Amino acid sequence: MRPLDPRLVRRIGPARRHIIVTAGLGFLTALLILVQALLIARLLAPVLSPTPLTDDGLRWWGGVVPESARTLATGLTALAVIVALRTALTWLQERLAHRAGVQVVSQLREMVVAHVATLGPRWAAGGRTADIATLVTRGLDDLLPYFVRYLPQLALAVTVTPVMMVVVLGLDWLSAVIVIATLPLVPVFMVLVGLLTQERSARHLEAMQRLGTRTLDLIEGLPTLKALGRERGPAARVRELGDAQRRATMGSLRIAFLSGMVLELLTTLAVAIVAVTMGFRLIAGDIGIETALAVLVLAPEVYLPVRNVGTHFHASADGLAAADAAFTLLDESDPTHVRASLGEAPDPRGRELRVDGLSVATPDGARLAPAALSFTAAPGAITVLRGPNGEGKSTALLALTGLLAPDEGTVAVGDTPVLRDDAAVALDGWLAHVAWVPQRPDLGPAGRTLSLGQRQRRALSRAFDSGRAIVLLDEPTSHLDRESRAEVIAAIRSLADSGATVVVATHEPEVVAAADAMVEVTGALTSTVEPANTGEDAS
Amino acid sequence: MSAGDVRVDWRALREAVRDTGLRAWPLTRAVLAGTVALGSAVGLSAVAAWLIAKAAQMPSPADVALAATIVRTFGVSRGLFRYLERLASHDAALRGVVTLRERVYDRLAGSGARTVMGLRRGDIVARMGGDLDAVGDVVVRALIPLGVAVTVSAISIAIVAVLLPLAGVVLAACLLAAGLVPAVLTLRSARIAAVEGTKARAEVTAAALSAMDGATEHRVWGTSSAAARALRDADADAEHAHELAARPAAWAVGAQSLFSGIALVALVGLGVLAVRAGDLEGPLAAIVALLPLAAFEAVGAVPTAVMQLFRSATAAHRLRSLTPAEGEATADATPASSPSTSPATLELRDLRAAWPGMTPTRPVTATVPPGGVLAIVGRSGIGKTTLLTTIAGALEPAGGAALLGGAVVTPAHTGHAIAMTAEDAHVFGTTVLENLRVARGSVTEDEAWDVLELVGLAPWVRSLPAGLDTELGADGRSVSGGERRRLLLARTALAPAPVLLVDEPAEHLDAAGALALRALVSRVRGEGRTVVLVTHDLALLDIADQVVSLDG
């Protein structure tokens, strides 16, 4: 996992402003903390010094917080102002922080969805859309910590840390040396620990996931076990798997937490060493109390951004994995996009729709459904596609829309070819003539609240009222009661009478009875078809 | 719905935590380690302040040698004990989740067939894994950090109060406020996120699914850009929900900054005044003045902890609604006395079936004697599977009754007198043999080969790397659709129940599958057992004695 994924950074776009605002507010807060440290030193130094203070312990930075802050009234007032400002800044930062992320997440989500929508029906038949919906909602939401916490902290680590170091250098060079010497050790040790443990960690992680999957497997199978009266057996197995998973998880955590320990150990120990060193130098009179106090308060703040980067990086891991999956998806492309063009779409009005030898392979490639389907649908007639489930009736209709490229065969209007396996007419022009109502039609998010029957009727009336020359209906009477079925069949009849070419896939006897022409759709195993094809190719 | 309407189900969370079987010691151990870790930070701050102030008086180095050693020790102990705390808390949480999983499984298994069969619907199981972990997270991210916040705050207050009682009172008040005020505000933010955020997320999911699933329709009707716009709008709502939840969250963080700042100003002032008044030595006053800088780190964990409490309570509530709690389970529980498992006549009297909220199927009447075969046909979505589930006793009839040997079929029959193989029956991520033993634990290897031969799967199993002992992938993914169906048929044949219900799916029933089904039915009826078969394949109807159609 990289600290900055260039693919993500490129997409930040308008969110850059919000990230800069968040980081900017963080930077201002750090400056206030700086002033606060100097103020505390000013306030405490007079009462802790055994002799009256003569020189300015803050040296170069005395200009920022003048010596007048040594008096209680001035110093405390200034401190109170700083506290008020810090509170306001913290409030504002938290109020705006989420904006740095939500827009990027929304944009990425919209891109993935738009891309998947172009991948075509064959891809959609793979049944991955539910997983992708989870990826683009819950998955991408996990990216928020990356943009909202991690990136601003990364910006602070490269801006605040140097500023703090320069200030410490201005106060006391020896403390600055200790800080500068230990700071690079933090990333070095973390990388070292990471490298040494990566392999073991990956192995544990794999074992962990495998065991987790198995436990869920047992719970998922519970209805099956219950249906066979065998639900009591696996409880002990759930426990066993759980214990194994715990051991594997603890094994990986023991290693994963090491880097956190190194981080805390180095940063805290460095602060302790700075304090102790200053203590002995105070006794020797090498350094003043005011300087020592300022450095003591500032030292932990130098390390703070670095520590926060470490913390938030791990919180971003899930989101980064989701982003990676999203980018992989964006790289997948639709084969129908590379089909050759057969020119402009012909006007099918009043002309026969001819299908010749149409074959489409199923997603697993084992069967052709339909296999070598040939028929002619006349304008003004109802052509019914019939056959058992899974033989390719719906797929045949889909192929007629042109959105699904067939594996074999042609579709033509009269003598003008519309589509082949490797070529198609301009699809937008063709689709302007085609109305298509699938099973379970989609009418947008609002349609999802309607019952299946209501959705079916709305989708059908959209098709009936469209005035398009070719109307493709997939099981138009399912989810409807007897009365509505009769109405729908009458509407199909009058649609045909008005001259439209109507192709209906159904096994409803009432619809079949209304048909002017009947076509049996059958599938075939790929293996039984291939020899015939080879024969054809050879001839 | 306003944010105030969301009730946090603390009782469910309490019960879920109790169900983790966590004992006091593992939790105490983790809190102790955490206290030493964060206490080291407080201690380092206090002793370092004393060391610097004392050193300013230029004593002999020996006078500060002990303090120097303590400072260095704290420098090491913080990281070390934080590591130990994280290990201890995760170990406790994981142990808790294992116990909780087992108990939830037990409770689910012991609850009635109706509850269990309901598991097949939706993403309940997928969510359950996350919910169980969320209950475990409450230990790591809420209980232990809150415990540490209390102990470390108490230690800080005690140190300051011993030195300067008034300062101790001020620090106590500020720590309390910095803990409680953000807790209340965070709870408010969590509620808004739960109501508005959940609603917005549902809209986003619906819009995304419509744009992807309906992509072809959108292309045909030219509504692709409208679908994209719908998603954009849903996203805008989600962004707005974030905006709403961010308000109280910002006040929570602001409050922490404010109260820690007030404590700093007050304690610096009180420290300086105490030295001037001669009430306190300089080095001790330095401790009072600088302690607030470290003391508030512990209460800083409160917002995250409260957020986790809220999330875990929601998860616990979902888990509880999944399984009837003890005492409430009686209505749906498996009775102690099992019905007879000897062959008997199955009788359907005007039986109608429906899941709650669905249109019931048309009434079915049939009498099937032992050894008889009844086929149920009808188009997809008409309720064939639901009817089968009702005959199995796992679902209350929507009308009429199913009787076995004259007695009304109850959940107690499910699996024992009437075994069912659903269309989506589960293939477990274990060996072929264990998958067959799901039907009956005593299945021998010979029996397994015999039944695999019957359904025509023996050659396939012989071709597997370890034969009967070959592990199938999780959810049987390495198994093709046709092989999976025949494996399930083999399993059905091994179930000892006198009535077998077989739900045959529309797809994947290839020639071999049809052959296997015929073989199975003739074997089973030869044993005097009854078969009820749901099928789409009209060519198979000749194996049935009776056929009922659900098409109206």
Give the number of other CB atoms < 10 A from CB of residue A181. 11
Domain boundary among B308, B331, B354: B331
Cβ-based burial of B526 (10 A; exposed 0-12, middle 13-18, buried ≥19):
exposed
- CATH code assigned at B432: 3.40.50.300
Helices then strands, each counted (H, E), chain B = 19, 9
Same domain, B355 and B264: no
Whether the CB of A511 is below 8 Å from some CB of chain B: the reply is no
Tokens representing residue A522 in the block: 């059958």
Same domain, B261 and B293: yes
Alpha-carbon gap, residue B358 to A69, rounded angstroms: 77
Same domain, B327 and B351: no
Task: Find chain A residues with C-beta within 8 A of B101's C-beta.
Answer: 215, 238-239, 242
Listed ranges B200-204, B208-212, B260-264, B466-470; the one with the highest mean pLDDT = B260-264
Of the pLDDT bands very low, low, confident and very high (cuts 50, 70, 90), residue A529 is very low
In chain B, % of residues over pLDDT 70 = 89
Same domain, B352 and B497: yes
Of the pLDDT bands very low, low, confident and very high (cuts 50, 70, 90), residue A330 is confident
Alpha-carbon gap, residue B39 to B32, rounded angstroms: 10
Tokens representing residue B364 in the block: 């079915």
pLDDT score for A394: 86
In chain B, % of residues over pLDDT 90 = 46
Q: Tell me whether residue B513 is in a domain.
A: yes
Same domain, B207 and B293: yes
pLDDT score for A221: 81
Q: Tell me whether residue B188 is in a domain.
A: yes
Residue B476, pLDDT > 50, answer no
Residue B2, pLDDT > 70, answer no
Alpha-carbon gap, residue A467 to A435, rounded angstroms: 9
Alpha-carbon gap, residue B451 to B494, rounded angstroms: 8
Of the pLDDT bands very low, low, confident and very high (cuts 50, 70, 90), residue A534 is very low
Q: Which CATH class is domain A339-538?
A: alpha beta
Tokens representing residue B111 in the block: 């609850």
Q: Tell me whether residue B279 is in a domain.
A: yes
Instruction: Report, as an integer, the average pLDDT of A31-41.
Output: 95
- Higher-pLDDT residue of A92 and A531 is A92
Say whether B416 and A401 touch across the interface (CB within 8 A): no
* Residues linked to residue B531 through DSSP beta bridges, in sequence order: B373, B500
Residue A473, pLDDT > 90, answer yes
pLDDT score for B326: 46
Q: Where are the alpha helices (DSSP H) in B20-110?
A: 24-56, 61-110
Same domain, B159 and B18: yes
Say whether B379 and A507 touch across the interface (CB within 8 A): yes
Same domain, B361 and B326: no
Task: Quick: pLDDT tens for A204-248.
Answer: 667 766 777 777 778 778 888 888 888 877 778 788 888 888 888
Task: Specify the DSSP class assigned to residue B299.
Answer: G
pLDDT score for B512: 76
Say whether A90 and B254 touch across the interface (CB within 8 A): yes
pLDDT score for B125: 66
Residues 6+ apart with CB under 8 A from B229: none
Q: Tell me whether residue B91 is in a domain.
A: yes
Compute the count of residue pairs across chains A and B with CB atoms less than 8 Å apart.
431
Say whether B254 and A269 touch across the interface (CB within 8 A): no
Alpha-carbon gap, residue A108 to A326, rounded angstroms: 8
Same domain, B176 and B314: yes
Alpha-carbon gap, residue B231 to A114, rounded angstroms: 10
Of the pLDDT bands very low, low, confident and very high (cuts 50, 70, 90), residue A449 is low
Distance of residue B421 Cα from the nearest chain A Cα, in angstroms: 7
Listed ranges A439-448, B450-459, B543-552; the one with the highest mean pLDDT = B450-459
Same domain, B323 and B351: no
Q: Tell me whether residue B271 is in a domain.
A: yes
Sign of CA dihedral A20, A21, A22, A27: positive
Same domain, B358 and B311: no
Say whether A225 and B215 touch across the interface (CB within 8 A): no
Whether the CB of A237 is below 8 Å from some CB of chain B: the reply is no
Choose the closest CB to B101 out of A110, A242, A266: A242
Is residue B177 helix, strand or coil? helix
User: What DSSP assignment string belongs to A142-158?
Assistant: TTHHIIIIIHHHHHHHH
Task: Find chain A residues with C-beta within 8 A of B67's C-beta.
Answer: 279
Whether the CB of A195 is below 8 Å from some CB of chain B: the reply is no
User: What DSSP assignment string belongs to A47-111?
Assistant: HH-SS---S-TTGGGGGTS-GGGGSHHHHHHHHHHHHHHHHHHHHHHHHHHTHHHHHHHHHHHHH
Task: Tell me the residue type at B243.
Answer: E
Tokens representing residue A177 in the block: 């040396």
pLDDT score for B88: 95
Say which range, A33-37, A118-122, A337-341, A360-364, has the weakest mean pLDDT: A337-341
Whether the CB of A438 is below 8 Å from some CB of chain B: the reply is yes
Answer yes or no: are the C-beta atoms of A83 and B268 closer than 8 Å.
no
Task: Find chain A residues with C-beta within 8 A of B290's C-beta.
Answer: 40, 44, 296-297
Alpha-carbon gap, residue A198 to A192, rounded angstroms: 10
Same domain, B401 and B279: no
Listed ranges A516-530, B301-315, B475-489; the one with the highest mean pLDDT = B301-315
Say whether B224 and A117 touch across the interface (CB within 8 A): yes
Q: Which among A151, A113, A130, A112 is positioned nearest to A21, based on CA atoms?
A: A151
Q: Tell me whether residue B336 is in a domain.
A: no
Task: Quick: pLDDT tens for B490-518.
Answer: 998 899 899 999 987 644 456 777 888 88
Residue A89 CA to chain centroid, in angstroms? 31
Could you tell me the residue range of the domain that residue B315 belongs to? 10-331
- Higher-pLDDT residue of A527 and A518 is A518
Tokens representing residue A282 in the block: 């105070």
State which residue of chain B sits closest to A80, comparing Cα positions.
Answer: B265
Distance of residue B9 Cα from the nearest chain A Cα, in angstroms: 23
Answer yes or no: are the C-beta atoms of B200 and B234 closer than 8 Å.
yes
Of the pLDDT bands very low, low, confident and very high (cuts 50, 70, 90), residue B106 is confident
Task: Find chain B residues with C-beta within 8 A of A97's C-beta.
Answer: 246
State which residue of chain A sits closest to B118, comparing Cα positions.
Answer: A223
Task: Find chain B residues with C-beta within 8 A of A143's C-beta.
Answer: none
Say which range, A332-336, B258-262, B284-288, has the weakest mean pLDDT: A332-336
pLDDT score for B551: 77
Whether the CB of A119 is below 8 Å from some CB of chain B: the reply is yes
Choose the closest CB to B109 out of A76, A231, A444: A231
Instruction: Report, as an integer, the average pLDDT of A395-401.
Output: 90
Q: Tell me whether residue B307 is in a domain.
A: yes
Residues 6+ apart with CB under 8 A from A327: A7
Task: Quick: pLDDT tens for B386-410.
Answer: 888 899 888 888 889 999 988 888 8
Residue B356, pLDDT > 80, answer no
pLDDT score for B333: 45
- CATH code assigned at B151: 1.20.1560.10
Residue B357, pLDDT > 80, answer no
Residue B330, pLDDT > 50, answer no
Residue A152, pLDDT > 50, answer yes
pLDDT score for B312: 92
Same domain, B80 and B50: yes
Q: What is the mean pLDDT of chain B?
A: 86
Report how many domains make up chain B: 2
Say which range, B29-33, B381-385, B419-423, has the weakest mean pLDDT: B381-385
